[in-house]
Amino acid sequence: MGCPAKTSTRARHMTLRTKIKRNAYYDSVTLMLLSRELQNLEGVEDVLVGMGTDLNLDLARDLGLATSELEALTPNDLFIAAKIDESKTSMDVLESAFNDYLNKRAETDGDDDFQPSSLSSAIQSMPGANMVLVSIAGEYAAAEVDEALDAGLHVMLFSDNVSVEDELRLKQKAVEKGLLMMGPDCGTAIINGKPLCFANAVRRGKIGVVGASGTGTQEVTVQVHKLGEGLSQVIGTGGRDLKEQIGGLMMIQGFQSLIADPETDLIVLISKPPAPSVAEKIYQIAKTSPKPVVIDFIGGDRAAVEAAGAVPCISLEDAAQKAVRILRGEAYADFTGFSLPDEQIDRIIEREVAKLKPDQTELRALFTGGTLADEAMKLLGVHHDIYSNIPLSPEMAIENLPSGRGHICLDLGEDKFTRGRPHPMIDPQTRTEFFKSHVDGNTGVILVDVVLGFGSYHDPAGAVAESVREIRHRLAEQGKDVVVVASVCGTELDSQDLNKSIETLEAEGVIVLPSNAQAVRFTDRVLQRMKKGV
Amino acid sequence: MLDIIETANKEALEIIQNGQPTLVGLGVAGEVIPGMAKDLFLHAGPPVTWEKMSGPLRGGVMGGLMYEGLASTPEEAAAYAASGKLRFDPCHHHDAVGPMAGIVTSKMPVWIVENKAYGNRAYCTLNEGLGKVLRMGAYGPEVIKHLQWMETVLYPVLKATIEIHGPIDLKTMIAQALQMGDEVHNRNKAATSLLIREIAPSILKTSFSNEEKIAVLEFLNSNDHTFLNLSMPAAKATLEPVGKVKHSTIVYTMARNGTEFGIRVAALGKRWFTAPAEIIDGLYFPGFTKEDANPDVGDSCITETLGIGGFSMATAPAIVQFVGGTPKDAVRYTTSMYEITTEESRAYKLPTMNFRGSPTGIDIRKVIETQVLPVINTGIASKEAGVGQVGAGIVHPPMACFEQALEAYVNLLEDEGLLEE
Amino acid sequence: MSVNDLFKQELKVINLGLKSFQNDLKSQGVTTVQVNWKPKAGGKKNMLNLLGRISKTKKL
What subunits make at least 3 CB pairs under 8 angstroms with C?
A, B
pLDDT of residue A102: 74
Look up the CATH number of domain B242-415. Answer: 3.90.1700.10
Look up the CATH number of domain A342-531. Answer: 3.40.50.261
pLDDT of residue A266: 98
Residues from chain C contacting residue B418 (CB–CB below 8 Å) = 57-58
| Residue C60 forms part of a structural domain | no
Distance from CA of B115 to the nearest CA of A (A): 32
DSSP conformational letter for B285: P
User: Is the pLDDT assigned to residue A110 strictly greater than 50?
Assistant: no
Task: Please give the residue of chain C at the shortest CA–CA distance from A258.
Answer: C4
pLDDT of residue B319: 86
User: Is the pLDDT assigned to residue A481 strictly greater than 50?
Assistant: yes
Q: What is the pLDDT of residues B300-314, one digit of tens each?
A: 999 999 999 999 999
Nearest to A140 among C4, C20, C39 (CB): C39
- Are B339 and A1 a contacting pair at CB < 8 A? no
The maximal CA–CA distance of chain B, rounded, in angstroms, is 72
The matching CATH number, chosen from 2.40.350, 3.90.1530, 3.30.70, 1.10.3470, for A8-107 is 3.30.70
**What share of chain C has pLDDT > 70, as a percent?**
95
Q: What is the pLDDT of residues B75-94, one digit of tens each?
A: 999 999 999 999 999 999 99
pLDDT of residue A416: 81
- Are C60 and B369 a contacting pair at CB < 8 A? no
CA torsion angle for C15, C16, C22, C24 (degrees, to 10)?
-100
Q: What is the pLDDT of residues B327-355, one digit of tens each?
A: 888 998 999 999 999 999 999 999 999 89
Find the mean pLDDT for residues C45-57. 89
pLDDT of residue B108: 98
Phi, psi dihedral angles at A510 (to 5 degrees): -80, 135
Residue A419: pLDDT band by 50, 70, 90 thresholds?
A: low
Distance from CA of A126 to the nearest CA of C (A): 7
| Cα C5 from Cα C11, distance rounded (Å) | 11
Domain hosting residue C36, numbered range: 3-54
- Rounded to an integer, what is the distance from CA A72 to the centroid of its chain? 65
Query: What does pTM read for this prediction?
Result: 0.76
Assembly ipTM: 0.90
| Residue C42 forms part of a structural domain | yes
Residues from chain A contacting residue C14 (CB–CB below 8 Å) = 119, 122-123, 126, 129, 131-133, 148, 153
Nearest to C58 among B368, B407, B418 (CB): B418
Element (H, E) at A236: strand A231-236
Distance from CA of A403 to the nearest CA of B (A): 56
Question: Which residue from B344, B403, B325 is spatially nearest to B368, judged by alpha carbons?
Answer: B403
For B119, counting Cβ atoms within 10 Å of its Cβ (0-12 exposed, 13-18 middle, 19+ buried), the class is: exposed
Residues from chain C contacting residue B368 (CB–CB below 8 Å) = 41, 47, 50-51
Question: Which residue from B379, B383, B381, B377 is spatially nearest to B395, judged by alpha carbons?
Answer: B377
User: By three-state DSSP, how is residue B97 classified?
Assistant: coil
| Cα A205 from Cα A230, distance rounded (Å) | 4
CATH class of B17-234: alpha beta
pLDDT of residue A28: 67
Amino acid at C50: L
- Strands B260-265, B273-276: pairing is antiparallel
pLDDT of residue A534: 60
- Are A33 and B321 a contacting pair at CB < 8 A? yes
Find the mean pLDDT for residues A160-181. 96
**What share of chain A has pLDDT > 70, as a percent?**
94
pLDDT of residue B15: 98
pLDDT of residue A29: 65
- Are B283 and A36 a contacting pair at CB < 8 A? yes
- Are C47 and B368 a contacting pair at CB < 8 A? yes
Task: Please give the residue of chain C at the shortest CA–CA distance from A133.
Answer: C15
Question: Which residue from B314, B169, C28 is spatially nearest to A453, judged by alpha carbons?
Answer: C28
Distance from CA of C16 to the nearest CA of B (A): 14
User: Is the pLDDT assigned to residue A533 strictly greater than 70?
Assistant: yes
| Cα A323 from Cα A335, distance rounded (Å) | 12
Number of neighbouring beta carbons within 10 Å of residue B200: 17
A350 touches chain B (CB under 8 A): no
Q: Among A97-101, A119-123, A454-458, B310-314, whose mean pLDDT is lowest?
A: A97-101
Q: Among A111-115, A502-506, B252-256, whose mean pLDDT is lowest?
A: A111-115
pLDDT of residue A109: 39
User: Is the pLDDT assigned to residue B166 strictly greater than 90?
Assistant: yes
- Are B413 and C54 a contacting pair at CB < 8 A? yes
Q: Between B8 and C39, where is the model more confident? A: B8
- Are B370 and A29 a contacting pair at CB < 8 A? no
Question: Which residue from B135, B138, B59 is spatially nearest to B99, judged by alpha carbons?
Answer: B135
**What share of chain B has pLDDT > 70, as a percent?**
99
Q: What phi-psi label fits residue B129: left (phi over 0), alpha (psi between -120 and 50 degrees) or beta?
A: left
Amino acid at A159: S
Residues from chain A contacting residue B370 (CB–CB below 8 Å) = 117-118, 121
Residue B326: pLDDT band by 50, 70, 90 thresholds?
A: confident
User: Is the pLDDT assigned to residue C56 strictly greater than 80?
Assistant: no
Question: Which residue from A311, A387, A360, A394 is spatially nearest to A527, judged by alpha carbons?
Answer: A360
User: Is the pLDDT assigned to residue A172 strictly greater than 90?
Assistant: yes
- Are A254 and C39 a contacting pair at CB < 8 A? no
Phi, psi dihedral angles at A292 (to 5 degrees): -60, 145
Q: What phi-psi label fits residue B287: left (phi over 0), alpha (psi between -120 and 50 degrees) or beta?
A: left
Most A-contacting residue of C2, C28, C35, C51 (CB-CB within 10 A), to test interface: C35
Alpha helices in A314-423 (DSSP H): 316-327, 342-353, 370-380, 415-418
pLDDT of residue A411: 96
Amino acid at A234: V
| Cα A412 from Cα A61, distance rounded (Å) | 71
Find the mean pLDDT for residues B104-114. 98
Q: What is the pLDDT of residues B125-151, one digit of tens each?
A: 999 998 889 999 999 999 999 999 999
Q: Please count the helices (runs of H) and the strands (runs of E) in chain B.
A: 14, 15
Q: Among A50-59, A229-238, A430-439, whose mean pLDDT is lowest?
A: A50-59
Find the mean pLDDT for residues B280-301. 91
C-alpha torsion sign, points B168, B170, B174, B175: negative
Residue A59: pLDDT band by 50, 70, 90 thresholds?
A: confident
Distance from CA of A128 to the nearest CA of C (A): 7
Question: Which residue from B18, B194, B229 is spatially nearest to B116, judged by alpha carbons?
Answer: B18
Number of B:C CB contacts under 8 A? Answer: 51
- Are A140 and C33 a contacting pair at CB < 8 A? no
Nearest to C56 among B371, B409, B420 (CB): B420
User: Is the pLDDT assigned to residue B238 strictly greater than 80?
Assistant: yes
C11 touches chain A (CB under 8 A): yes
B415 touches chain C (CB under 8 A): no
pLDDT of residue B324: 66
Find the mean pLDDT for residues C20-47. 90
Measuring CA to CA, how many Å separate A417 from each of A13, A433, A460, B13, C18? 65, 11, 18, 55, 21
User: Is the pLDDT assigned to residue A6 strictly greater than 90?
Assistant: no
The matching CATH number, chosen from 3.10.450.50, 3.30.2130.10, 3.40.50.261, 3.50.50.60, for A187-336 is 3.40.50.261
Task: Please give the residue of chain C at the shortest CA–CA distance from A457.
Answer: C20
Nearest to C50 among B7, B407, B420 (CB): B407
What subunits make at least 3 CB pairs under 8 angstroms with A?
B, C
Residues from chain B contacting residue A30 (CB–CB below 8 Å) = 321
- Describe the crossing of helices A91-107 and A28-39 by its angle, rounded to 10 degrees: 120
Number of domains, chain C: 1
pLDDT of residue A4: 39
B1 touches chain C (CB under 8 A): yes
Q: Which residues contact residue B318 at a Cβ distance below 8 angstroms, ignoring those fewer than 6 apart?
A: A27, A29, B181, B187
User: Is the pLDDT assigned to residue A107 strictly greater than 60?
Assistant: no
Q: Which residues contact residue C18 at a Cβ distance below 8 angstroms, ignoring those fewer than 6 apart?
A: A135, A158
**Is CATH 3.30.1330.60 the classification given to domain A119-185?**
no
What subunits make at least 3 CB pairs under 8 angstroms with B?
A, C
B416 touches chain C (CB under 8 A): no
User: Is the pLDDT assigned to residue B1 strictly greater than 70?
Assistant: no
- Are C16 and A113 a contacting pair at CB < 8 A? no
| A184 preceded by a cis bond (ω within 30 of 0) | yes
pLDDT of residue B281: 78
User: Is the pLDDT assigned to residue A11 strictly greater than 80?
Assistant: no
- The reply to whether A8-107 and A119-185 are identical in fold is no
Q: Where exactly are the structural domains of chain A?
A: 8-107, 119-185, 187-336, 342-531
